[in-house]
């Protein structure tokens, strides 16, 4: 077992399994088989939706830079399957116990949705989720709306705007049970962006790479500033992705999130001596 801290449980590293066990190796057997190996059964309608999603993504990607992944098998393996591997964590976050599907509709917000990963994949396999996609780029937001319509998804809203601005709207602040974000920002910036959206007791799930030790340490320092704690870091099947799990434990101070430039260039938690949870806002500004 990997060493742990008081704040975070880090899961032991699983072996990188052969392709016939995870579908992640060179001999790709298709998304339904890979999902089944991960314990996720796809029905005929869901398989059809993923096929349509893949086609829409690859076609739109010829005109708009939605993803650097252009091979159809890689779309299934690196985008669809990677999101599907989050499903057990989604189920555990919302279940009354550690078994069974979501016991009630849950509200999920996806920050910087881009081409819709992981949120739209999660919506396909957990249709009771009420999903809000937030995307700052107009062409990407339009693509998301097109996919939602073409796949016949209900209970999905697309917001064209910056998360920093949407988080200050009363209809979205402290409103969501779950938050996700993929390939958007460093962990400290993600915590600052997502924490305001979550209700107390809500959880955020962030897929990351394997080597995130420095990022995780900074995130653990940033977490109490925005009212959350890093619960655990799990490695998903195949050994290519870490999943950072975060819980909202207190109200996020009103001055978070800061404007986007400050999140990127002055992330919370990077300098351990910079701020504390009790540092007044005026003093923080004076110290810049």
Which CATH architecture group holds 104-286?
3-Layer(aba) Sandwich (3.40)
37-46, 82-91, 151-160, 259-268: range with lowest mean pLDDT: 259-268
Maximum distance among all Cα pairs of the chain, rounded to whole angstroms: 59
Q: Kindly report which listed range (3-12, 23-32, 221-230, 237-246) carries the lowest average pLDDT score.
A: 3-12
The closest of 203, 198, 258, 192 to 225, measured between CA atoms, is: 192
Domain boundaries of the chain, sorted by first residue: 104-286
* Average pLDDT estimate for 175-200: 93
User: 191 and 235 in contact (C-beta within 8 Å)?
Assistant: no
pLDDT of res. 239: 66
User: 274 in helix, strand or coil?
Assistant: coil
Q: Residue 83's closest CA among 64, 100, 67?
A: 67
pLDDT for 211 equals 83
Q: What is the mean pLDDT of residues 132-156?
A: 97
Angle at 84 between CA 236 and CA 65, to 5 degrees: 105
Candidates 236, 245, 234, 209; CA nearest to 82 is 236
Name the residue with tokens 């962030």. Answer: 206
The H-or-E segment that residue 179 falls in is strand 176-180
């Amino acid at each position: 077992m990997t060493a742990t801290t008081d704040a975070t449980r880090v899961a032991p590293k699983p072996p990188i399994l052969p392709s016939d066990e995870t579908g992640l190796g060179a001999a790709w057997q298709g998304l339904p088989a890979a999902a089944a190996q991960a314990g996720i059964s796809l029905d005929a309608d869901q398989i059809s939706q993923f096929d349509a999603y893949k086609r829409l993504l690859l076609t739109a990607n010829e005109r708009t830079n939605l993803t650097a992944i252009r091979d159809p098998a890689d779309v299934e393996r690196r985008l669809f399957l990677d999101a599907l591997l989050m499903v057990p964590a989604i189920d555990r976050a919302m279940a009354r116990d550690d078994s069974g599907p979501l016991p009630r509709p849950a509200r999920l917000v996806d920050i910087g949705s881009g081409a819709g990963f992981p949120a739209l994949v999660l919506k396909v396999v957990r249709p009771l989720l009420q999903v809000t996609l937030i995307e700052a780029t107009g062409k990407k937001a339009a693509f998301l709306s097109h996919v939602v319509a073409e796949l016949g998804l209900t209970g999905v809203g697309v917001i064209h705007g910056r998360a920093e601005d949407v988080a200050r709207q009363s209809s979205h602040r402290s409103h969501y049970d779950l938050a996700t974000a993929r390939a958007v920002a460093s962990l400290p910036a993600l915590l600052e962006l997502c924490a305001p959206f979550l209700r107390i007791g809500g959880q955020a799930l962030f897929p990351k790479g394997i080597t995130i030790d420095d990022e995780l340490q900074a995130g653990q320092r940033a977490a109490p500033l925005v009212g959350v704690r890093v619960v655990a870091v799990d490695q998903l099947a195949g050994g290519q992705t870490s999943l950072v799990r975060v819980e909202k434990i207190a109200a996020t101070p009103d001055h978070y999130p800061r404007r986007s430039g400050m999140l990127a260039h002055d992330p919370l938690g990077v300098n351990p001596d910079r701020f504390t949870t009790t540092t007044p806002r005026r003093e923080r500004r004076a110290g810049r």
